[in-house]
Structures are given as C-alpha cells and as structure tokens.
Amino acid sequence: MTARFTIEPLVVPEAPGAPGWADFEAANAVRNVCEAAAYGTDDLGYRADELLPLWTNTDFDPKHGLIARLDGTVVGRAVCDTLADPASSHAWLEVLVRPEARGLGIGAALSDAIEQLALDDGRTTYIVYAASPEAPGPRLDAPTGFGSVPLENPEVRFLLARGYRLEQLNRGSRLALPANPGALRRLEADALSHAAPDYSTLTWIGTTPEQYRSDLAHLHTRMSTDAPTAGLEEPEDVWTVERIDAEDASRASADLVPVTAAVVQAATGALVAFSTMFVPSEARRAITQDDTLVLREHRGHRLGTLVKLANLRAVEHAYPGHPSIITFNAEENRPMLDVNEAMGFAPIGYEGAWRRDA
C-alpha cells in the first residue's frame, strides 16, 4: 500500500495548549529526533514551549513553517527564516523528516513547498545548514579549504541533486562540565596578560542592562558581518535597541535564561565583545552557547578567550550541575576553535552550510 502524506502550514499557537499546540509540539519533536540522530546526543533538544517565543517575535525575525503528515501523524517539518527587510534576497531553510519516514518523497515535497514559499516572498538566495554524520567513502570538500562532508550521505546527495553547493562546514562541539579549573586559570592568566588594563569583563543574567542596550545592538549587527560566512555571503542583519528589548521579552517567556558576558574597553566604556549562553531550567540538560563576537578592530588581545571564560564562570556559578555546553563554529574560524579547544570543547559532529540561487 502506498504511503499517503500531506503538506500543510504549521499553525503557530498563541500559547502552550492553545489551538495548534499539538502540531507545534509534534513538529518540535521532529526537530529533536533528527538532531539526536545526526549528532548522537540529546544535548541539542529543546521543549516546544522554550522555542515558541522565537516563532512569535515576527516583527524582527519573520519565520514560516510547514508540516508533513503521514497517515495523519506529523513526521516532517520545514522552516523558512528571513530578515525583516523585504528587500533582502536571503532565506534560511530547514527541512527535517523523522528517520522512520524517510525514502517516501516527504523531504522532496517539503523542500519544493518551502522553496516556493520563499520565492513567493521575493527571496531568491537559499541557505541550508544540514548535519552530516561521519561515514566512510569519498568526501566533498568545502571550498574554504577547511573540512568536508561524506559525499554518499543521503543529505549530501539530496542537496546536490536540488542544485545546492557546499560553501562551508560548521563544527558542533561539547564541553563537559564542570570544566577543568586548572586549565581555565592558565587560560585566564594568559588572556589577562594581553588584555589588561585596557579591557575588562562584566556579566549579567536575563534582561540587558539599560546602559548596554545600544552597544549590544551594535555587536549583534556586527555578528552578521564579522563572523566568517564563506561563499554564503549572508547579509547584514541590523539590530536596534527596540530589537534588543523584543528579544529580551521573548527570551524572558521562553524558560531559557540568557547569561551574557561582555568586554568593556577602558578608554571608551563601550562593549567590544560579547558571549551569550542559554540555560534550561532542568539541571540535567545541556547549556547552549549562542553568539560570541569580538569586533574586528579589537582582535589580537585574547578578548575571545576572556569573554568566553567570563561567560563560563557565570553559568557555572549561577547554574551548577548542568552536564555540558554545546556550541557551533565555522571550521575555518581557527581563532575561536583554538579558544574552545583550550577550554576543553571536543567535536560532536559537523554540518554543511549550503547555498542555492533561484
């Protein structure tokens, strides 16, 4: 008997338990199952109620979703993220299908539908980040010269057949907690010898302090231009104080506590680097290391090490007992990978960053 599946819009519920919640929760389960299968760990999982606020902050982060049902059960999902600027041509796409439902054409149908949705919105440059588990056989090298993916992997063959080209490789890394205190002390002493007295660190938990909102908006904007993106040519994503406020408000309702560290330049009092982690309420779960950036003009002073150490110390002090921290970095970003490795991060897997121009 031929499997029957349907593709339909993902209805974003107003709150947990509201109309659409069951499908939203099922779509989130698809995400978690696929991430666990790709990386061999549940550390990347989130509860649906933690991610719901990210779907409702549409003024600054437009997001659209689709789901696939197989015999009535949600087995796949597709997501299209864009910038708020309608003139931007980029769309970030994700298509995931539960392992037991693959090989039935669901991934192709979801891809067709989400690409058409992006095209209808005027977006013509598609970026896909796809996990590629290790496998034997021939490799496809990233044009950056850093890293490769197994050429015979299903996701690699699928993307190549659809006209995508590999542009970059990202490394997923895990730091087991508690971190090695001796190694951290040695790293901190070295970093301070390069940074002090011109730079110092500060940390906060939750909402961004009033006096740093403008600086943090500038840092987030520069995150979109200063981080390596290879041939993806990802556009500038402008942040404002209003967007910082909206982000803080959505995160406050997400049950994921943001812990931020920043570097202050003594001469100006301005923030020149930052690093943020998101801490789940259950101590048994992993912490997520989100953005980390040192402004280009302030690099060479070990500020990346300094700000990441400050961030780590803050979460270990305020939220002890979590098993690990997960982070992702471009494989060619050796300065940040050097910091991570010195702190004790170890690779758990890789994802390809792919591009197609419609």
Convert the pLDDT of each residue in 313-341 to its tens digit. Answer: 999 999 999 999 999 999 999 999 999 99
- In which element (H, E) is residue 130 found? strand 125-131
358 touches 124 (CB < 8 A): yes
Domain end residue (candidates: 152, 171, 190): 171
Same domain for 212 and 70? no
What CATH number has the domain bearing residue 285? 3.40.630.30
Instruction: Give 233's DSSP letter.
Output: -
Helical H runs in the chain?
21-39, 48-56, 106-120, 154-161, 181-195, 213-226, 241-252, 303-318, 334-343
Contact 123, 82 (CB under 8 A): yes
Same domain for 344 and 216 = yes
Residues 163 and 179 in one domain: no
Query: Are 165 and 183 within one domain?
Result: no
Do the domain assignments include residue 301? yes
Domain around 225: 174-350
Please report, to the nearest 10 degrees, the dihedral formed by the alpha carbons of residues 275, 281, 287, 289 taken in order.
-30
Domain-embedded: residue 357: no
152 found inside a domain: yes
Is residue 182 located within the same domain as residue 162?
A: no
Domain's final residue, options 113, 144, 171: 171
| SS3 track for 242-277 | HHHHHHHHHHHCCCEEEEEEEEEECCCCCEEEEEEE
**pLDDT (0 to 100) of residue 255:** 83
Instruction: Report yes or no on 12 lying in a domain.
Output: yes
Same domain, residue pair 125 and 186 = no
Among 117, 151, 171, residue at a domain's last position: 171
- pTM of the shown model: 0.95
Could you give the 3-state DSSP secondary structure of residue 10? coil
Q: For the chain, which ranges sit under pLDDT 70?
A: 1-3
Query: Partners of 351 in the beta sheet?
Result: 131, 170
356 lies in some domain: no
Q: Does residue 111 fall inside a structural domain?
A: yes
Tens digit of each residue's pLDDT (9 = 90 or more) over 174-209:
999 999 999 999 999 999 999 999 999 999 999 999
Assess if residue 181 is contained within a domain: yes
- pLDDT the model gives residue 250: 85
Q: Are residues 120 and 250 in the same domain?
A: no
